[in-house]
Each structure stands twice: as structure tokens, then as C-alpha cells.
Amino acid sequence: MKRFSIIVLTICIAILGCKKTTYEQQKMPYNNIETFVLMGYAGDSINATINNGEIIIYWAAETKMPVTIKPTVVASAGATVSPASGTEVAFNNTTVFTVTAEDGTVKTYKLKPVINKAVPRISSISPSDLLWISSTLLTVSGEYFLTGDTADVHVYAERMRDGFEFDLPLNYPKLSMTNITANLPMYSDIMDTGLHKIRVKIGNRVSDDKQVNIRFPDIAYTSGVNLTYEEAGRSLVAGDSMTLKIWDDYKGAVTKWYMKKFTRVVIENYVFEATALTQTDSTIKFRLPATPINQKPSNVILYYVGPYGATYWGKILPQTSWPLIPVKN
């Protein structure tokens, strides 16, 4: 009986010993990259994102990308990685890391640098008080305006009263990282004056906003506004009509704010109040009084209410623009 027990014990020890030997010889199958870290552009560390066989590293667009990097790579327990951790490699998508598990299985990872494009930021807009004509320029100053394709850069306005939005035409050749030159679009019936928010958009990245006030243009300080008389060169007498024609070089974007709203016309000693004026979208008509004018006229003065209140605009016209009217001897 004693001998039988010894034999059984010997067999058990042998079996357990075999199992232990088998376990010790089994190789681990793990071949992952656990962490991938490199020194950043500001002296900090950048941790890569490992996903579907890619080592994704986000790099700031405004910072020059290095040609090579020396990453610290940690692989699965028991696995080896090639190129080894700390080896200098090209910082582009041609670089491939191979991880070999203990059991010999292999997995490859492709390096993928991604430009992390910054969101544009507006620091100021000059001027912030604008007159609505298409030649009105404004300068948008800030940062990160060239962090993408130039064609993707847009400046747009949002009317604060109702949220209506419209694009501002840009001077693309003068775009820089910190400045954008834009101008107001041609005025139309859907536009309006008042407070607007200005934003910069690059692709799907939108800046913060700055406010501007858009006023209707002041006719007295806008070039390209023209005056003449329909009766130019003709001889007139008391009681005849004089018709002052007014137009601008902006397809009516300036004069539309004033026509039918002039409050007085003065020519030398002649004063025509609003009740004596017949106004249309392009003319002001009045009749010559019985009293001759003091001297040959050259200047016409128009009174109106502008964007800054009641004022007047005087303009000297060449003699070819005037009719011949009676003058005191």
C-alpha cells in the first residue's frame, strides 16, 4: 500500500511539472503600441492618438513642423518595436513602426501628422463706424487668418437686429496672417443700417466677433455724387422751372438716402424751402422767382438730415451746368 502511494505521488508530481514547463514556454501575443510621446514645439510633450493602425499627432498650424522627431515609444509587455524608442525618424506619413510580439506576430503602425488648425481671432476692426457705399474699406486685425486655403477665408456680417448675414468682399492678394482688407458690398433692398457683428470664417472655423455701426453715407463727404440742371445752357425767365438732377457713381447707393428728403435749396440770394420743392428719385424742381438773382450763380447749397443730424452740402457747378437766368444789373 505504501509503495502504491509513492507511485501515485510520483506520477502527480510529473504531471504538474509538465504543465508548469508548458506554461513557461508559452509566448505572449500582444503587439500594440501603448504610448507614443514626443517633445512639443513649446518644450512640452505631445501624446499621439493610436487608432486603427495609425499614430496620429496633432501639430499647431502656426508652428513650423520639424523634419524629424525622436519619439518615446512603449509597446506591449514582451514586444519589441522597430524603429526602437528614441530613434530619430522622419516626421511624415512614410514612417512606419513595426511591433513584434513575443509569439512572433507582427503589427504595423503608420505615422500620421495632422495640422491642428487654429481658430481665427479678431482683435480689432477699423474703422468701426462705416458709411454704406461699396467702396467703404475696413481692416480686420487679429491672428491665424492664413491657417488654411486662402480661398476658404471669408468675412461676414450679421445684422444684430434680426440676425441677417451677408459676406464682405475681400482683397485676397493682401491677406496676411494678421490682417484682412474687406469692403462693404453693394447696397440692396435686403441690406440695412445699424449695428452689425463682423466675423472671420476659415472652412468650418469661425472667429469671435467685433461690432461695427453701419450708417447711410453722408452725401456731403462722398465723392462721385453729381449735379447738373436739365435746363443747362437755356435762357429762363421768372416763373420758369429749374430742375436740378442728382445722381451718384454707386448705382444710386448714396442718393437713395436723400432724394425726396431735402429740406431747402439755396442759390445765391434765392432760398427755396421744402414746400417750394418738387422732388423725385433723381431731381429737385423749383420755379424762378420774379426778382432777379443778385449775381451769376456758381454754387448750390442743399440742406438735408444726414447720418449725424441736420446739415447742408454746398457744391460749385461749372457754368456749363447752369441755365441762363436773369441777373440784377
**pLDDT reported for residue 27:** 87
Whether this model's pTM surpasses 0.75: no
112 to 49, 53, 109, 287: CA distances (angstroms): 10, 10, 9, 81
Supply the pLDDT for residue 317: 96
| Cα diameter, the chain | 161
Output the nine-digit C-alpha cell for 102: 513575443
Residue 128 is which amino acid?
A: S
Burial of 145 (0-12, 13-18, 19+ CB in 10 A): buried
Q: What percent of the chain clears pLDDT 70, i.e. is strictly above it?
A: 90
Q: What is the pLDDT of residues 176-200, one digit of tens each?
A: 989 999 999 877 767 788 999 999 9
* pLDDT the model gives residue 23: 47
Q: State the fold for domain 121-215.
A: Immunoglobulin-like (2.60.40)
Q: Is 251 left (phi over 0), alpha (psi -120 to 50) or beta?
A: left
**What was the pLDDT predicted at 47?**
87
**How many CB atoms are located within 10 Å of the residue 18 CB?**
10
In CATH terms, the fold of domain 33-116 is Immunoglobulin-like (2.60.40)
Residues of the chain with CATH 2.60.40.2340: 33-116
Question: Residues 95-128: pLDDT tens digits?
Answer: 999 999 999 999 999 999 988 777 889 999 999 9
- Contact between 292 and 327 under an 8 Å Cβ cutoff? The reply is yes
Quote the DSSP letter at residue 169.
Answer: -
Give residue 314's Cα distance to chain centre. Answer: 39
The three grid cell numbers given for residue 203, joined into one nine-digit string: 472652412
Hey, which of 2-6, 17-21, 150-154, 187-191 has the most confident mean pLDDT?
150-154
* CATH number at 220-321: 2.60.40
Average pLDDT, the chain: 88
| Grid coordinates of 67 | 523634419
Q: Is 23 left (phi over 0), alpha (psi -120 to 50) or beta?
A: alpha
The pLDDT of residue 24 is above 60: no
Integer Cα distance of 99 and 35 in angstroms = 12
| Cα 97 → chain centroid | 41
CA distance 296 to 247: 24
What pLDDT, on the 0 to 100 scale, is given for residue 249?
86
